Amino acid sequence: MPATEVKVPDIGDFADVPVIEIHVASGDVVNAEDPLITLESDKATMDIPSPAAGTVRELQVQVGDRVAVGALILLLDEDGAHSEVPSLVGQQDFSADATAAPAAAGQEQPVGSSADAAPATPPGVSAVGATPTDFEGVHAGPSVRRLARELAVDLTKITGSGAHGRITKEDLLDAVRPQAALPAGGATATPGTGIPEIPAQDFAKFGPVQTAPLTRIQRLAGPHLHRSWLNIPHVTHHDEADITEIDAYRKELDTATKAEGYRVTLLSFLMKASVSALREFPKLNSSLTPEKDALILKDYFNIGVAVDTPDGLVVPVIRDVDRKGIATISRELGAMSAKARDGKLGAADLQGGCFTISSLGGIGGTGFTPIVNAPEVAILGVVRSKMAPVWGGTTFTPRLVLPLSLSYDHRVVDGALAARFTRHLCNLLEDVRRLLL
């Protein structure tokens, strides 16, 4: 019976996504929805599940390969079919010869090896076929040991950054990544920037220390934020909106909807007001072309919302905000925030944003500089509202004031445009009736 071809399903408009982990081997029996491989984009990791129960006949990918939608992952003999692959149950180690076999057959080699002789090998990476398979005395988990065999890496030569010196997957991948070229003078440069790296320091010389590994979200978000900060000339414009009336109306709605299981927060009104401001000033709803010589103006309004989770910050996207009312937006915000905190966001939940809002209103602050979420050109930062005396022409009256901070890409947005956009946004928030126009 012919084997079923298992391919990469629709993962959004991601392409050239690296395979960072393989959960099965030829001969393994899998159930429907069991994870087969893990992909890692610059925004999220994605497990690709098995579409049916059966036996893995033949893997078609290896760690380090880059795949897209439709790429063949493996051949699967579904339940009832006869497997042509001998059972590997009980086999725990891959031999060095088996690791070298794909290269001998002319297939693409794993990350960290090379078909041509190289002048230098990253520390810990062995020649294919010369890697130990037992790693006796090494503090590492089974998945890390297996990946090390596949990548021809000697774990005994790697220093672990995990608890009690445990070698993590990141330690292993760092060992096989090409080392950045050294700039003049020998100082290590941050990859792709030419900026000298901060020198390493032994903090233990000054007192007791502990090493806490970054969460997966932090490891993914860090390079994205760094890239945005280095590539975009950031400027931040600050303003304040009198939200006394709109907050009173929000509280009325919130009281009425508690029984329905969702809350109405100021963020829903900020999203609607942002859409109106983006319509008025379409440059802020754009992205630069790859050649940086034109703007791509968007006729849709998808708003990203920064969500604080136990593992770090993520930015899910609420789509078509212009077509939704406050109640619908509030329900979607609640559902999306819950998915983010539970770690259940999919790739599609993180794509397609036009403009991002980062709100620290539940915590505090008086203002901050949010980093533009490239390829967007602007992001709105919001902190806690405060009661302040406002001059009304004859007397001061206490009003609820909301500080706003708009960071923008100065290549696309100049200061005057940013000021007009922010003031327009403030005017909308100061009179809820304007949101209906």
Segment 244-285, tens digit of pLDDT: 999 999 999 999 998 888 999 999 999 999 999 999 999 999
Rg (CA), the chain: 26
423's enclosing H/E stretch is helix 415-430
What pLDDT is recorded for position 289?
94
Candidate from 166-170, 188-192, 350-354, 397-401 with smallest mean pLDDT: 188-192
pLDDT over 50 (residue 219) = yes
174 confidence band (pLDDT: 50, 70, 90): confident
In 3D space, the residue among 280, 328, 277, 274 whose CA is nearest the CA of residue 304 turns out to be 274
> How confident is the model at residue 191, as a pLDDT?
54
Are the CB atoms for 361 and 266 separated by under 8 Å? yes
Answer yes or no: pTM beyond 0.85: no
159 has a pLDDT exceeding 50: yes
User: How much is the average pLDDT of 85-98?
Assistant: 36
Average pLDDT of 64-76?
90
Sequence-distant (6+) residues with CB within 8 A of 71 are 7, 8, 61
Annotation says 410 is catalytic:
yes
- Half-sphere exposure of residue 349: CA atoms within 13 angstroms, side-chain side: 21
Check residue 275 and give its pLDDT: 97
Output the pLDDT for position 186. 45
pLDDT of residue 432: 82
Q: What is the mean pLDDT of residues 290-310?
A: 94
Of 139, 226, 410, 424, which residue is the catalytic one?
410
Q: φ, ψ for residue 241 (rounded to 5)?
A: -120, 135
E strands, 139-251, are 234-242
Instruction: Give the single-character DSSP code of 125.
Output: B
Confidence (pLDDT) at 332: 95
| Average pLDDT value over all residues in the chain | 82
Give residue 259's pLDDT: 85
Strand ranges in 213-278 using DSSP code E only, listed in sequence order: 234-242
Give CA–CA dist 292/145, Å, rounded. 44
Shortest CA distance to 41 belongs to which of 19, 63, 73?
Answer: 19
Question: What would the pLDDT profile of 271-282 be if each residue is shown by its tens digit?
Answer: 999 999 999 999
- Nearest in space to 102 (alpha carbons), one of 93, 90, 111: 111
